[in-house]
């Protein structure tokens, strides 16, 4: 008989076992919550904040959960979450190569969230593995399993020709399917297709879809709805509403909305003209890579 089996059940051992079990439950809940939010169209930075808030609200020290993950790589959720910590540089150096390896390992164990994350890494070439064919293959698998995040991603693949031929009708149909499931990212994508007139031109549908996307908490949808109020696309012009929506999306970190908000302050559209605030938001947008914002700042610098 193993002598460990005969150890007395001390209070210390009880607490340790409860703590270990609790952390296991926390890891499962975190991963399930994140995947649920993927299918709700929540953006990456929003999901990350929710992960950190969840840990904080459960009075768990980040270092404790990180150490636990290092020593408990025995299921796909803990493998994925350790990869997530590496991907975002949470309590460790940012290491996307290591994140890719862990995501890949969890994905092979049929972890849906790992598969979704891996598909985007293959598309962007993060971790040194650019492969459009694998992005398409993974997104199709997720879509076939009925996950709206995967359906939206597959539509994106058909729209942009990622791992497949461009097929606007298939993209449209997939975006529609995911939008009907309540995915605000797909509602946003579908709104753009209606506005531009791909397959069908309908500004009223574009407006209604952008409204649903914004109400679903997607910053891209908020920015698009602000744009529609600004220019009267499918609705009457309302500069005040436009400004408020740009402000809300900008506060979420959307660089397009930050640029549009800066324009509103520069020209006094829906708000009192304020060049200092305009420059502030141009800088925020430029920092995230907006070329239009960078050009604006160059003009201000010259003047």
Q: What would the two tokens of residue 148 be?
A: 């709206």
In a domain, 62, yes or no: yes
Q: CB–CB of 191/175 below 8 Å?
A: no
241 within some domain:
no
In a shared domain, residues 113 and 37:
yes
Which residues span the domain enclosing 86? Answer: 18-129
Residue 123 included in any domain:
yes
Tell me, yes or no, whether 87 lies in a domain.
yes
Q: Are residues 64 and 119 in the same domain?
A: yes
For residue 2, tell me if it sits in a domain.
Answer: no
Domain boundary pick from 179, 214, 249 = 179
- Torsion angles phi and psi, residue 10, rounded to 5: -80, 165
* Shared-domain flag, residues 60 and 147: no
Question: Do 31 and 78 lie in a common domain?
Answer: yes
Task: Write down the pLDDT at residue 8.
Answer: 36
Taking the CA atoms of residue 16, residue 17, residue 22 and residue 27 in that order, the dihedral angle to the nearest 10 degrees is 100
Residues 30 and 58 in one domain: yes
pTM: 0.89
Q: Output the domain CATH number for residue 104.
A: 1.25.40.10
Please give the chain's pLDDT, 303 residues, in tens.
333 333 333 333 333 443 666 899 999 999 999 999 999 888 888 899 999 999 888 888 899 999 999 999 999 999 999 999 999 999 999 999 999 999 999 999 999 999 999 999 999 999 888 999 999 999 999 999 999 999 999 999 999 999 999 999 999 999 999 999 999 999 999 999 999 999 999 999 999 999 999 999 999 999 999 999 999 999 999 999 999 999 999 999 999 999 999 999 999 999 999 999 999 999 999 999 999 999 999 999 988
C-alpha 183/C-alpha 147 separation (Å) is 10
The CB density around residue 159, as the number of other CB atoms within 10 Å, is 20
Q: Cα torsion for 105, 109, 113, 115, to the nearest 10°?
A: 70
User: Are 113 and 142 in a shared domain?
Assistant: no
> Residue 197: helix, strand or coil by DSSP?
coil
Q: Per the domain annotation, does 184 fall within a domain? A: no
In a domain, 250, yes or no: no
9 assigned to some structural domain: no
């Amino acid at each position: 008989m193993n002598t460990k089996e005969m150890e007395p059940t001390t209070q210390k051992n009880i607490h340790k076992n409860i703590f270990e079990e609790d952390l296991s439950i926390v890891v499962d809940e975190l991963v399930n919550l994140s995947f649920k939010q993927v299918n709700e169209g929540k953006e990456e930075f929003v999901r990350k904040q929710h992960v950190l808030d969840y840990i904080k609200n459960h009075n768990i020290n980040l270092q404790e959960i990180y150490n636990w993950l290092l020593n408990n790589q025995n299921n796909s959720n803990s493998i994925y979450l350790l990869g997530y910590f590496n991907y975002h540089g949470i309590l460790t150096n940012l290491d996307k190569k290591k994140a890719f390896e862990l995501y890949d390992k969890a994905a092979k164990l049929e972890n849906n969230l790992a598969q979704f994350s891996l598909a985007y890494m293959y598309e962007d070439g993060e971790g040194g593995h650019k492969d459009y064919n694998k992005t398409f293959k993974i997104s199709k698998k997720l879509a076939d399993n009925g996950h709206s995040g995967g359906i939206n991603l597959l539509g994106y693949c058909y729209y942009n020709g990622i791992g497949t031929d461009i097929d606007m009708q298939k993209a449209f149909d997939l975006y529609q399917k995911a939008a009907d499931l309540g995915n605000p990212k797909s509602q946003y994508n579908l709104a753009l297709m209606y506005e531009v007139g791909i397959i069908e031109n309908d500004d009223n549908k574009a407006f209604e879809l952008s409204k649903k996307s914004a109400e679903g908490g997607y910053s891209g949808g908020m920015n698009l709805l602000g744009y529609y109020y600004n220019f009267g696309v499918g609705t009457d012009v309302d500069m005040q509403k436009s400004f408020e929506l740009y402000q809300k999306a900008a506060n979420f970190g959307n660089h397009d909305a930050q640029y549009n908000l800066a324009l509103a302050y520069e020209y006094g559209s829906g708000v009192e003209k304020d060049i200092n605030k305009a420059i502030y938001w141009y800088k925020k947008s430029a920092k995230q890579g907006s070329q239009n914002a960078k050009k604006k700042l160059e003009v201000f610098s010259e003047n």
